[in-house]
A and B are shown apart, each in its own frame.
Chain A
C-alpha cells in the first residue's frame, strides 16, 4: 500500500536542502506549518461544502424530492452560491449583548473542530500530529466546542439562545461520558491511545470484527453518542428548530452563523472519521482472510479513499437517523443517557477488559 510518508519526507528534504544550513531549521518548520495550515483549512472548507450538499441531496431523496438541481449540474454549485451569499451577508451587531463573547463564540466552535480535523489520520503516513495520547487529545478538544455554544447562547442575551445553550451543555456533558467509554473500550482492546498505532493494529482485522460483541456494542453506543455530540437529530435539542426557532445561534447572522453551520457539518465528518478509525480500521483496506486476490485488489485503492469512504458511510447512517426520527425531549434524552447508555457502556468496558485479560479476542 502506498505510503504518503514518501511525499512528505521528500518535501521536508527539499526544504532542508534549500537552505543548506541547520540554523534555518526554524524557517523550514514555519514553512511546513503554513503549508499544513493552508491545507487543513482548504480541506475543511471543501469537506464542509461537500457535506452540506451531501446532506441536502440525501434528505431530498429520503423525502421523495430531487434536492438542489438548478445551480450547476445536479446542483453541484449550490453550496458555492450559498457560500458567496453568506460571506457578504451583513453582520448584525446587537445592543445589550456581550460583544466580545458574542463575536468570540463562533471562532471557538470552528477552532475546536479544525483542531480535531487536524488529528485525523487520512492515510498511511498522512497525519499531521502523531503523539501517544492522540485519541485522548481529540476528546479533550471536542469538549472545547461546547464552550463556544454555551458562550453563544449566553452572550446573545436572548431567552431562546440561553435555553438552547443550557440544553446543549447538559447534552454534551452527558453524552461525552458514553462517547469516552465507548472509545475507552477500544483503547483497552488495542492497548494504545496513539491514533496511528490504533489504525496499524487493525491491519489483520478491524476492531469491530476483532472485539466480539463488546466492540459491536461499543460501536452502537459510539454512533448514538456521536449523534448527540454533533447536535444532530434526534438529539438536535440545542437547535430544536420548532421549539427555539434556531436555538443557540438564533441571533447570529452572516459568516458568524456560517461558522456554526460549517462546524456542524464538519463535526459530522469528524465523528464519522473517528468511528471509522476506531472501529472500521481507519484507512486500512478491507481484507478477508483467504481471499488473496480480492485483498490485492483492495490494496490498490489508496488509503485516503478508504478513510474518506468509511467516514461518508457512517455519516450517511447519522444523516439517515436525523431525517427519520422525531426529536426526543430533554428529560427523555438525559434519562436515556444516564439510565441506559452509561451503565451499558460501563458493563461493556468490564466485559471487554475480561476479554482482553483472557485473550479471548481474535
Chain B
C-alpha cells in the first residue's frame, strides 16, 4: 500500500491518507476532477472501475466518498473522499465524463443530499418527485409530512433538465436543457407495464420502430431504505436487505452481515459458513430460473416461463423448510444464521441437484435452442467490454461482455476459496450471451452446492460471542458480495453508536439500468423489452 500512496502523492500532493478498511484518500474539491482523470488514465494507477458513490453528510460538512478498483492492476480497492466547500449550496465536480456509471450515481447523490455536480449533463432528481421539498438524507432534513404530502397530481415538466456548467473563469452557471426535442415521438413505457419487471419507467423516443433515446425515470418504488436504516439498530437493519433485490435475499443479507461482522471482528462458525454458501447458491439458482422464465415470457414464450417456475418451486420448498418463508427469508443474522437447517435439508438439496441437469436440457430444448429465440436475442443490445467496465456492469450481464468480475473469485468470502467452480464468461456481448451466462451459472452453482452439501460440519450455527447489543466502533466499512445480478456492496459509517450513521447499498441493478440508453439505441422497440429482460434488473433493488 505504500506504493500507491507515493504514486498518488506524486499526482496530487495535497491528498491526505487515512488507513482503515480501505485506504481513504482525501482530496480538495478543486483538484478532484484532475485527480480523477489521473486515477483513471494514469497507466501507473488505472482505476477504471467506479464501484460505489456514497454521499455522506458529516453535519459540519457534506461530501462524497468514491470507491474505486482496477481491472488492469492488482490494487486493493481505494476510496476517495471529496468534501464540498459550501454546505448550504454544495457543489462538486462531476466524474460522469470519466466513469459513465457516475451519471446516475451522482443524480442519486443530488437527490439525497442536494450536492450539485458541476458539468453533469442532466442534473434532475432521480428518485423523488420533481416538486419534492428538501433532500431527505441530509441530517438537517425537515421530515414534517406537511411539507411533502401525498401529492395526487401528475408531475409536470419532465422534459426540462438543468446542467451546472463551469466556464473558464471558474464561475458556475445553471444552463437549462431538454431531454427530448420538440419533434421526438416519445413513447412512455411504464410505470405499469408488464415487461418492466416492476414499476420502472422508460421514456423512449422512437423513429418508426427504432429507438433513438431512452430516458430512465426511476423512483416509483423508492422506499428510502437508507434513511430508514439510520434510525434502526444494526440487527434491525438486516431485514431491509431481503426486500431490496428479493431475488438475492440471501446474498444481500449475507453482505450486510459480513460488513457488520468485519467491523466487529466477529468470527462466523464453520457450520454457518457452509449453510450461508449453500443458501447463497440456491438463491442464485432460484433467481436465474426466474430470470429464465421472465426472459422467455417477455419474448412471448409463455410455456418456458412455467417450466422455469416449476423448478423454482422446489428451491422455495427447501427454503421454506429451513427458513420458514418462501421469499423474504430473514435467515442470516450477525454472527451466523437464524436457525439450524431442517433435518430434510441435505436430502432435499440432493433431490433437487438430481433433477436440475435434465431440466436445464429441457429449457435449452424449449427455449434457448429455438430459432426465433436465438434470432431475438443474438446481436441485440451490444455492450462492449470497455462499456461494461465503464458503466460498472457486474454480474452475469458484465460477464456476458467477457469481463471477468466475479467477486467470488476476486475476493473470496465464505467458503468460495475452498470450492472448485468456473467463472462463466461469454464473449458475445449481446443479450444471448447474458442469457447463456445465467443458464451456465446454474450448472456452476449446482456444482458448488454438490461439493459442500455432504460436508456440512457439526457445531454452532451462530457465534456465541456475538454481543447482545451491537455497537460498531467509529469508522467506515465497505463489503461486496456476488449477488444474483452482480456485485452488491454495503457501506457502513458508524459514529460508535448503536445505529449506523450512514448506510449505503450499492446495488448491481442500479448500474444495469444505467446502460439501457446505450444498449437500446438503434434497436427496435421490441428489442428494448428483450434487452431489459436479458439485463434482468429488479426494480426495488434500483430504487431501494
Contacts and interface: CB of A to CB of B under 8 A. Distances in A.
Interface of A: 59, 62-65, 159-160, 163, 233-234, 236-237, 240-243, 245, 323-332
The range of chain B's interface size is 20 to 34
16 contacts: A59-B303, A63-B306, A163-B187, A237-B526, A240-B300, A241-B194, A242-B529, A243-B525, A245-B194, A323-B303, A326-B301, A326-B367, A328-B376, A329-B527, A331-B209, A332-B376
B432 to A, nearest CB: 12
A328 B303 contact: no
Contacts of B301: 324-327
Given A242-B300, A327-B299, A329-B376, A65 B527 contact: no
B302 interface: yes
Contact of B303 (A63, A234, A242): A63
B195 interface: yes
Given A62-B303, A242-B529, A323-B302, A328 B375 contact: yes
A255 to B, nearest CB: 24
Contacts of A236: 300
Interface string B173-199: 000000000000101100001110000
Given A243-B529, A332-B375, A325 B370 contact: yes
Most chain B CB neighbours (cut-off 10 Å) among A233, A234, A325: A325
Given A63-B306, A324-B301, A324-B303, A242 B194 contact: yes
A242 B298 contact: yes
Given A163-B187, A242-B299, A327-B300, 6 more contacts: A64-B306, A237-B526, A243-B195, A325-B301, A326-B300, A331-B524
Interface string B505-544: 0000000000000000000111101000000000000000
Contact of A234 (B187, B195, B310, B372): B372
A160 B195 CA distance: 14
B296 A326 contact: yes
Contacts of A64: 306-307, 310
Contacts of A240: 300, 526
Contacts of A237: 526
B470 interface: no
A72 B349 CA distance: 40
A330 B370 contact: no
Given A241-B194, A243-B525, A329-B524, A159 B370 contact: no
Contacts of A329: 375-376, 524, 526-527
A323 B525 CA distance: 22
A326 B299 contact: yes
Contacts of A65: 306
B217 interface: no
A327 B527 CA distance: 11
A242 B373 CA distance: 15
B373 A326 contact: yes
B366 interface: yes
A159 B194 CA distance: 16
B303 A163 contact: no
Interface in B296-328: 296-303, 306-307, 310
A331 to B, nearest CB: 7
B366 A324 contact: yes
Contacts of A245: 193-194
Most chain A CB neighbours (cut-off 10 Å) among B301, B526, B527: B526
A332 B378 CA distance: 13
Interface of B: 185, 187-188, 193-195, 209, 296-303, 306-307, 310, 366-367, 370, 372-373, 375-376, 524-527, 529
Nearest to B306: A63
B302 A243 contact: no
Given A323-B302, A325-B301, A327-B299, A242 B195 contact: yes
Contacts of B300: 233-234, 236, 240-242, 325-327
Contacts of A159: 185, 187-188
Given A242-B195, A243-B195, A325-B370, A163 B306 contact: no
Contacts of B296: 326
A59 B300 CA distance: 13
A163 B524 CA distance: 12
Given A163-B525, A326-B296, A329-B526, A59 B302 contact: yes
B425 to A, nearest CB: 25
A234 B299 CA distance: 10
Nearest to A330: B209
A159 B525 CA distance: 12
Contacts of B372: 234, 325-328, 332
A88 B193 CA distance: 26
Contacts of B310: 64
Nearest to A244: B525
Contacts of A324: 301, 303, 366
Nearest to A320: B303
A158 B195 CA distance: 18
A160 B301 CA distance: 21
A131 to B, nearest CB: 40
A240 B530 CA distance: 13
A237 B300 CA distance: 10
Contacts of B529: 242-243
Contacts of A62: 303
Nearest to A62: B303
A325 B367 CA distance: 8
A240 B298 CA distance: 9
Contacts of A233: 300
Contacts of A331: 209, 524
A236 B302 CA distance: 13
A14 B440 CA distance: 74
A65 B309 CA distance: 12
Contacts of B194: 241-242, 245
Contacts of B307: 63-64
Most chain A CB neighbours (cut-off 10 Å) among B307, B372, B376: B372
B268 to A, nearest CB: 40
Contacts of A243: 195, 525-526, 529
Nearest to B296: A326
A330 B373 contact: no
A240 B209 CA distance: 14
A302 B110 CA distance: 77
A64 B525 CA distance: 32
For the complex of A and B, the 3 pairs showing the least CB-CB separation, nearest first, are A327-B300, A326-B299, A63-B306
